[in-house]
A and B are shown apart, each in its own frame.
Chain A
Amino acid sequence: MITVGLLLGLALGAVALAAPRFGLVSLWWKFRANRERARSEDALKHILAWQHRSKLASLESLAGALRLSAPATLRLATRMEQSGWVRSKSEGIALTRSGEQRALQVVRAHRLWERHLSDDANMPMARLHQAAENAEHTLTRDEVERLDAHLGHPQHDPHGDPIPGADGRLASIDAVSLTEWPVGKPALIAHIEDEPDPVFQQVLAAGLRPAQVIQVLETGPERLVVSVEGSECRIDPAVAANVQVSVASAADLPPPDAVRLSNLPQGACGEVVELGPACVGFSRRRLLDLGLTPGARVEVALETAFGDPRAFRIRGTTVALRGQQAEQIWVRPLAEPSATEVGS
């Protein structure tokens, strides 16, 4: 009896250890392999980022970025060299052609995942980066391509960074740091650098978002005063350096005689001018599909107890929108609500 029990226990233990997919050995092996993959991919990203700044990464910079000990970093670099991804030079570590392609694919997965979290899950901008840091190593190439198609082949991530193409091509961004922008000239926020995190959080706390049009009112070594959508905010130059801006064209500015649909009073009518630039991805497609295209007529039909959401009459249907959506829609107020409906 005892022998049978012992044998059974041994057999169970052996299965738990050595089972092909869920055994402890195979799980440990998988964990090791995943960690290895994540580390070398993070290293590739680091070297790529330095190359974009026309610098070569070194073992020291690598150790700092990955928080690894010097011997571990050396082992990592040796393995990457053996895989043919990097070449050590006297000035530092450079990516090979295949290493660069691989790094760009990781960046592509990272930025597409951020886009997905922002568009589909509406995750706050402040948390996107960390979530994508974890996901970028687990997505397969096929999953990345499907994500890209699902998101409609976006060009930029939520911070304004260009997303590398499937072929590894990366569009350059033509922007300068906010600290170098002249006072008084309207500037379009092209990109907000998401690292280091505390700086990024300060930029977000100041109310700055990609695709916004802002104006520098005052500049100096201690602070910059910037006007954002009618309100003023002060930011440190060190923080402002992480914000890249480009020339705002007429299309980026809010239309002159238009108001946000959320500001249209109950019972009033308006004609859609455009959807705001901050309205992207799925929610933009949704609003367009509902018929909120330029030229469409909108009437504010119903209001709930607390003023939000409100229901609007669009092309013969009644559609409820939250204030958050309605403020993305610019309309030109129409004087007289006509008796007959257009387009119903």
Chain B
Amino acid sequence: MPHSAQSIIDLSDQLRRDLGGGFRDRMVTAVYEHAQELVSRSVHETGAKKWDFDQRIDRLLTSRWLGLPLMLLLLGLVFWVTIQAANVPSQMLANAFFAFESAAAGMFESLGAPWWLTGLVWHGVFRGLAWVVSVMLPPMAVFFPAFTILEDLGYLPRVAFNLDWLFRKAGAHGKQALTMAMGFGCNAAGITSTRIIDSPRERLIAILTNNFVPCNGRFPTLIMLAVIFVAAAFPPALASIIAASAVVTVVLLGIGFTLLVSWALSRTVLAGEASAFTLELPPYRRPSVLRILYTSLIDRTIFVLGRAMLTAAPAGAVIWILANVQAGGQSLAAHAIELLGPTGEAIGLDGVILLAYIIAIPANEIVVPTMLMCYLGASMMMDVAAYDQIQAVLVDQHGWTMLTAVNLMLFSLLHNPCATTILTIWKETRSVKWTALGGLMPLAIAFAVCFLSAQAGRLLL
């Protein structure tokens, strides 16, 4: 009978109104009481030693005076290990790839392939791939496992716990510290990981600011600049430590911008108060080696490297075409550099660097190689065997100063996210508006900050 069905629905609606909000409380309480009863019947405890030990470590890692310094120390250690361990394998990979390239190009020529085919395939596409693999793979193969160890131990939630007061002041979520940490590996991965933040407003803040921590693709640039401009002024024994501290400084600056922009966003377009923050601090666990190797090498390294290679191949082709197609007596690359020159000068960089950034929109990893290729006037991305050669090229032949290096570090830290990251923002927000903001806001900030720093630098020096 339809009448009685309707009356039952009415009754249930009525009852639901009368229940008020309290019934949910009572339900959860009843479930917990039942669980408690089951536990007390079947689980027998003999002591709480594990918990005592964990608590002692926790007291140290989150303590008033040591918590933050220990965190910085661990971060610095991870970078130092990465810088130290990645240098030699990078060099070896580069040499191997470039030897293979010239052999393969020689074979093409002997088979009678046209010059542009050899150039495009081997000196363009292959060289782009070779650069990305040799520059990215070794640091990632060291950084990701080191980071996964910290993650597996259960240290990252403690970082979020330590930093929460800062994020709360910025109107953001405490778990943003975690997604930010993921961004060191890859901003796209960091943006995907913001799914752990329940509040939509704070999740958007985390998505839009993730770009301000340098990802793996940008670390090589930062490391190179730190080594040849900052660390060069110190004795060689200290150089790697100085370089690591310079990178840590840049990272801290990035965290500062993350907080500043979060604060500004949560007072303007994403107005709101910091929402509920509940974070479980899991017990410390012994990291499992197999799992670390799997998650860091398969899930992260191969995944990130794979997508970098996908974007580097066409970028390599574009660079080769730009450098080899002539119009009006000079190459397209030379035209572009002339066009971008004044803008670059205004922000303390130059046309070459800006062109490199435009070509590197798909993947930031190829900024340095592109830049060097343009400077040297070579028709392809070149390989430079050692950092002191790079320094000679930049300082002696192209008038780089400390200001250029500092501004490039700032620009590299702040500029627009790479294409994959922008695509990920769109996938996660499904909104053209937020995607545009996520791409253009960092770019505007990078230009503003570099312009100010260039003007200030020129006034003072």
A117 to B, closest residue via Cβ? B272
Number of interface residues of A (CB under 8 A): 53
Q: Which of A106-114, A218-226, A336-344 contacts B (4 or more CB under 8 A)?
A: A336-344
Given A320-B281, A341-B51: A304 touches B164 (CB 8 Å cut-off): yes
A contact patch SS: loop
Residues of A within 8 A of B174 (CB): 309, 320, 322
Q: Could you write out 6 A-B pairs with CB less than 8 Å apart?
A: A121-B201, A122-B272, A167-B13, A288-B24, A295-B33, A302-B59
For A167, the chain B residues whose CB sits under 8 A away are 13
Identify the closest chain A residue to B271 (Cβ).
A127
Please give the residue numbers on chain A whose beta carbons come within 8 Å of chain B beta carbons, in ascending order.
120-124, 127, 152-153, 155, 165, 167, 169, 171, 274-275, 280, 282-291, 293-296, 301-306, 308-309, 311, 315, 317-322, 324-325, 339-341, 343-344
- Contact, CB under 8 Å: A322 / B164: yes
Alpha-carbon separation in the docked complex, A127 to B168 (Å): 20
- Which B residues from 338 to 385 make CB contacts under 8 A with A? none
Per-residue CB contact flags for chain B residues 269-281 toward chain A (1 = under 8 Å, else 0) read 0011111111111
Is there an interface contact between B21 and A305, defined as CB atoms closer than 8 Å?
no
Residues of B within 8 A of A293 (CB): 25, 28-29, 32-33
Residue with the highest number of chain A CB atoms closer than 10 Å, among B63, B157, B201, B277: B277
**Distance of A309 Cα from B281 Cα, bound (Å):** 12
Q: Smallest CB–CB gap between B255 and chain A, Å?
A: 16
Tell me, yes or no, whether B17 is within 8 Å of chain A by CB: yes
In the complex, are the beta carbons of B67 and A124 less than 8 A apart? no
Task: Please state if B274 and A123 are interface contacts (CB–CB under 8 Å).
Answer: no
Question: In the complex, what residues of B have CB within 8 A of residue A340's CB?
Answer: 45, 48
Residues of B within 8 A of A303 (CB): 62, 64
Residue B290 CB within 8 A of the other chain: no
User: Which 10 pairs from chain A and chain B are nearest by CB?
Assistant: A283-B276, A122-B275, A293-B29, A318-B281, A121-B201, A288-B28, A320-B279, A322-B277, A123-B272, A306-B165
Q: Are A325 and B281 in contact (CB under 8 A)?
A: no
Query: Contacts A123-B201, A127-B271, A302-B58 given: A309-B277 contact, CB under 8 Å?
Result: yes
Contact of B16 with A122 in the complex, beta carbons under 8 Å? no
- Residue on A nearest B65 in the bound complex, by CB: A305
| Complex contacts, B271 vs chain A, CB 8 Å | 123-124, 127
In the bound complex, CA of A322 to CA of B172 (Å): 12
Within the complex, what minimum Cβ distance (angstroms) separates A131 from chain B?
Answer: 9
The smallest C-beta distance from A261 to any residue of chain B, in angstroms, reads 13
Set B48, B68, B199: member contacting A339, Cβ < 8 A: B48
Residues of B with C-beta under 8 A to A155: 17, 20-21
Chain A nearest Cβ from B36, distance in angstroms: 5
In the complex, B161 has a CB within 8 A of chain A: yes
Judge if B55 is at the interface, Cβ distance under 8 Å: yes
B148 interface hit (Cβ, 8 Å): no
**A302 contact set on B, CB distance < 8 A:** 55, 58-59, 62, 161, 281
Residues of chain B contacted by A120 (CB below 8 angstroms):
198-201
Complex CA–CA separation, A95 to B361 (angstroms): 59
Provide the bound-state CA to CA distance between A308 and B63, in Å: 12
Given contacts A120-B199, A293-B25, A309-B161, contact A343 B278 (CB under 8 A): no
Q: Which of A121, A282, A291 contacts B32 (CB 8 A)?
A: A291
Instruction: Give chain A residues whose Cβ lies under 8 Å from the Cβ of B282.
Output: 317-318
Please determine whether B161 and A121 come into contact, CB atoms closer than 8 angstroms: no
Chain B residues 257 to 275 lying within 8 A of chain A, measured CB to CB, are 271-275
